[in-house]
Amino acid sequence: MTDLTSIHQPVLLDDCVRLVSPALRREGSVAVDCTLGLAGHSTAFLKAAPQARLIGIDRDAEALAMATERMRREGLSDRFTPVHAAFDELDRVLEDQGVDEVDAVFMDLGLSSLQIDEADRGFSYSHDAPLDMRMDVTQELTAETILATYDARRLTRVFKEYGEERFARQIAGQIVARRDREPFVSTAQLNRLVDEVVPQAHRPAGNPAKRVFQALRIEVNGELDKLSSTLPQAANRLSVGGRLVVESYHSLEDKTVKAFMAQGLRIDAPVDMPVVPPDAQPFFADLTRGAIKADADEIAANPRASSVRLRAVELTRRIPDRWRRRFAEGQQHDHATNRRRSRRG
């Protein structure tokens, strides 16, 4: 059998366990891992909290099957429920499981080692592979479809917004100019094009195509839309004393997480109000004092930890109804955006 610990190193594992496990002390407490992957974090959570159970969500059926087998081998199956879904389906998943509130919600937004290391998935610019990049292989939209059908303006937006690529317009223009005579079907083709377009003097450290690959992956999987939709679902489902713990790996994710958490960390009243009513007090407590980063030793052992930002909050009181409504309105907007995006794809 495959030794999953040899292909998957959970990032900031000790910090994540330290942040999640205090919320799982009571008998029957429930944690949700929205990004189960190969269950490196989740197995540690269940071992640290023997009275808790965990719902593991993943849109990658292969990863879900491997994680389920890992739980069986670790003797944790009786406290583990696997669910094949995208994490922005959190509300539906909990309703299906008959769960109203949970005590911890965890999200590790990085690609799993399985996705990176399987060359035929097309996530990595280090291997020549089909331009796929789907986390859920049952969906239709792929990176190849995007490069074949998006016009130059739309490609530019994707590369600029999701990859923060300085030469987004030039790269998009060359893709559109070349694709009729040479359709883009492999990661090697895209690598070569970016290598030709981006000037040597303006290249980031490492492969110059990494920002373009990041942008395509985010667009294919709707990652930022799904994140923006999932965070309020998670907050609204937390019990008082429950914790939301999120690991991000690029600035767009981290900005989204930071901005969401900040809403519950500040006083919701005018600055000149002499007495702040209880309903305007913060409903989150900051557990990480900003973001936790990996130290040099962890980065040396696991280079994928170099960009991680770990943030966590605890729900200190029931979320006011007005904030629940704001969160719900935001979710409706995000779901509408996803539907429009799906139709365009």
Closest CA to 334 of 220, 218, 213, 233: 233
Judged by average pLDDT, the poorest of 201-205, 260-264, 334-338 is: 334-338
Computed over every residue of the chain, the mean pLDDT equals 89
CA atoms of 72 and 4, how far apart (whole Å): 13
Q: How confident is the model at residue 327 (pLDDT cuts 50, 70, 90)?
A: confident
Q: What's the mean pLDDT in 57-63?
A: 92
pLDDT tens-place string over residues 100-140: 999 999 999 987 554 555 555 556 766 789 999 998 888 89
Looking at beta carbons, which pairs linking 112-115 to residues 24 or more positions away fall under 8 Å? 112/8, 112/37, 112/38, 112/60, 112/63, 113/7, 113/8, 113/9, 113/37, 113/38, 113/304, 114/7, 114/8, 114/37, 114/38, 114/60, 114/62, 114/63, 114/66, 115/60, 115/63
Structure tokens at 135: 């986390």
The model's pTM is: 0.85
75 is in an annotated binding site: no
Structure tokens at 228: 């923006």
Q: By three-state DSSP, how is residue 214 classified?
A: helix
CA atoms of 196 and 215, how far apart (whole Å): 18
All structural domains of the chain: 4-114+223-344 (3.40.50.150), 117-221 (1.10.150.170)
Query: What contacts 311, CB < 8 A, 6 or more positions away?
Result: 245, 246, 248, 254, 257, 258, 261, 288, 290, 291, 292
40 is in an annotated binding site: yes
41 is in an annotated binding site: yes
Q: How confident is the model at residue 203 (pLDDT cuts 50, 70, 90)?
A: confident
